[in-house]
Amino acid sequence: MKASYIVAVAAALNLSLATNVTIIRPNDPFLPDNKLPPSHATSDGASIVQLFPNLGRSTTWKLISKTHFEGDTGEPEGMVRVGDDRFFVSAGQYTVATQKYTHPINGTDRSPGAGFAHMLIYDGQGRLIANATLTPPGDIEYHSGGIDYDGRYIWDAIAQYRPNTTATIVRIDPLTLQKEALFRTHDHNGGIVHDTITDDIVTLNWGGRNATTWSMKDYPQGFAPLPAFTEAKSSVPDPTFFVDYQDCKFLGHHALPSAMSARFGGLNPTRAIMFCGGVATIESSSSSFNLGGIALIDLQTMLPLWEVPISLTSDLGTSMTQNPIDIAVVDGKLRIYCLPDQHNSTLYVYEAA
Ligand SMILES: *[C@@H]1O[C@H](CO)[C@@H](O)[C@H](O)[C@H]1NC(C)=O
Ligand SMILES: *[C@@H]1O[C@H](CO)[C@@H](O)[C@H](O)[C@H]1NC(C)=O
Ligand SMILES: *[C@@H]1O[C@H](CO)[C@@H](O)[C@H](O)[C@H]1NC(C)=O
Ligand SMILES: *[C@@H]1O[C@H](CO)[C@@H](O)[C@H](O)[C@H]1NC(C)=O
Ligand SMILES: *[C@@H]1O[C@H](CO)[C@@H](O)[C@H](O)[C@H]1NC(C)=O
Ligand SMILES: *[C@@H]1O[C@H](CO)[C@@H](O)[C@H](O)[C@H]1NC(C)=O
């Protein structure tokens, strides 16, 4: 690691010392035994990729559990299941609503609004263990997005709550909930994953329309010192309009199972793969509904490798994949973990029968 990089990180750390953590259950550690469980890439990532082509429109999703998450969760945006008994949820608390402009101003379409980004820790029974405020009062970047856990850190993009604006890429230590701001992007970024094999960071912008790649290796002089912006290594548009991805997880680099590789003329190089969930709002002149879906995606090209619609809704009528989602293989079967509702949230766990 270059000295200039360390200086940039140290400067960011000073900013991050303001993270205020409220510990609700002092007898429950953030992580059991203070141990960092493995990421998907080093545990069930390969099995997720192998099992995914079994999924389709006719998959029966069997409800395994429904767990109420205590407290006002605001708007949950992303979630990582860290080990069997901890869920970290990035959540927005909005104190002033954004307002649509009549015409674009400064390249965006609405006023900044105001609020706070939080990181919440829950156990498997839905008990709140800690509630961190990640942004200071008055910060124009107060919107967290989808998050990813890489075996050491939780990655988050804290952005203005409006398209075509700015974001700061941070990583949060799950053992302390302290955040480290690494670099700033000249766009609204939401979903983020860390490819731990290439050390690339991939972020999705408003509506998941563009995937932008940042390399932790390709900035030998360090990221541009905050609050300046760092230029991306590359950016690709999402070539599909199925759903707008909200929350994604890096699964590792894998050759594709034959049902998937058949689509690529039999060529089957190892690919960087992520899992994502999201919704598309389908509007007609008379009505609108949210189509839910999950997918495996090639991280470099954004090509969908396998896409599956999800028609499940919460008891409150929200599309199951509207907000946070994670995935796991438990006893050889695929499970999804969804936290769709705002404010009064319930974790729904489904297994692909
Ligand atoms: C976390 O704290 C904020 C206030 O800082 C509060 O508005 C929010 O409801 C809390 N979240 C939960 C789940 O209790
Ligand atoms: C547009 O940007 C300019 C320059 O940064 C700023 O002074 C102005 O307040 C912005 N306008 C709005 C409505 O945000
Ligand atoms: C954001 O920028 C893109 C590309 O410059 C443009 O097509 C889009 O209309 C902008 N969105 C808004 C809401 O201003
Ligand atoms: C943490 O609390 C202190 C004191 O109330 C406040 O000055 C600071 O802005 C807060 N920081 C965050 C990130 O909420
Ligand atoms: C998305 O990326 C393309 C280049 O791949 C770029 O032309 C376009 O402006 C980007 N859109 C936004 C909103 O950043
Ligand atoms: C919270 O949501 C559950 C359904 O998930 C519902 O039964 C309950 O009445 C809701 N509680 C409040 C206070 O709205």
What does the pLDDT profile of the chain (353 residues) look like in tens digits? 343 333 344 344 444 445 899 999 999 999 999 999 999 999 999 999 999 999 999 999 999 999 999 999 999 999 999 999 999 999 999 999 999 999 999 999 999 999 999 999 999 999 999 999 999 999 999 999 999 999 999 999 999 999 999 999 999 999 999 999 999 999 999 999 999 999 999 999 998 899 999 999 887 778 999 999 999 999 999 999 999 999 999 999 999 999 888 877 777 789 999 999 999 999 999 999 999 999 999 999 999 999 999 999 999 999 999 999 999 999 999 999 999 999 999 999 999 99
Q: Are 119 and 177 in contact (CB under 8 A)?
A: yes
According to the model, what pLDDT value does residue 331 have? 96
Nearest atom (ligand 4) to Cα of 116: 14
**Beta strands per DSSP E along 48-199:** 61-69, 75-81, 86-96, 100-105, 108-110, 114-123, 128-133, 148-149, 154-159, 167-172, 179-185, 189-195
Spatial CB neighbours of 204, under 8 Å, sequence gap ≥ 6: 145, 146, 189, 190, 191, 192, 210, 211, 212, 238, 245, 248
What's residue 11's pLDDT? 41
The DSSP secondary structure of 317-342, one letter per residue, reads: S-BTTSS-EEEEEETTEEEEEE---S
Of 20, 22, 177, the one to substitute when testing ligand 4's pocket (max ligand atoms within 8 A of C-beta) is: 20
Q: Does the N-terminal peptide bond of residue 26 adopt cis geometry, omega within 30 degrees of 0?
A: no
Asked if residue 226 lies in contact with residue 181, where contact means CB atoms within 8 angstroms, the answer is yes
* Closest to 197 in 3D by CA, of 140, 123, 271: 271
Q: 240: which 2 tokens?
A: 């599909």
User: 201 φ, ψ to 5°?
Assistant: -110, 125
Q: What would the two tokens of residue 317 be?
A: 């009528």
Could you read off the pLDDT of 304-344 as tens digits, one per residue? 999 999 999 999 999 999 999 999 999 999 999 999 999 99
Cα 106 to ligand 2 centroid, rounded to whole Å: 6
Compute the distance between CA of residue 123 and CA of residue 118 in angstroms, rounded to an integer.
16
Half-sphere exposure of residue 158, counting CA atoms within 13 Å on the CB side? 29
Rounded to the nearest integer, the mean pLDDT of the chain is 93
To test the pocket of ligand 2, the residue of 102, 105, 106, 166 to mutate (highest count of ligand atoms within 8 Å of its CB) is: 106
Closest among 293, 313, 311, 338 to 76, alpha carbons compared: 338
Residues 316-329: b if buried by 16+ CB within 10 A, e if exposed: eebbbbbbbbbbbb
- pLDDT for the residue numbered 7: 36
pLDDT computed for residue 18 by the predictor:
56
Ligand 4 contact, 137 CB (< 6 A): yes
User: Which of 171, 186, 229 lies closest to 16, judged by CA?
Assistant: 171
Nearest atom within ligand 1 for CA of residue 93:
7
* Ligand 1: centre distance to CA 129 (Å): 12
Give 161 Cα–ligand 4 centroid separation in angstroms.
20
31 neighbors 311 (Cβ within 8 angstroms): no
What are the backbone angles phi and psi of residue 324, rounded to the nearest 5°? -65, 150
Tokens 């990582």 identify what position? Answer: 80
For residues 74 and 246, give the distance between their C-alpha atoms in angstroms, rounded to a whole number: 16
Q: What per-residue confidence (pLDDT) applies to 262?
A: 83
Tell me if 210 CB under 6 Å of ligand 3.
no
Q: Cα(135) to centroid of ligand 3, in Å?
A: 26
- Residue 229: CB partners within 8 Å, gap ≥ 6? 166, 183, 184, 185, 186
Residue 22 CB–ligand 4 contact under 6 Å:
no
Question: Residue 164 Cα, ligand 5 centroid: separation in angstroms?
Answer: 10
Two structure tokens written together for 149 = 């856990």
Distance 87 CA to ligand 6 centre (A): 20
The gap from C-alpha 71 to its chain's centroid, in whole angstroms, comes to 21
Q: Write down all domains in the chain, each with its CATH number in brackets.
A: 17-352 (2.120.10)
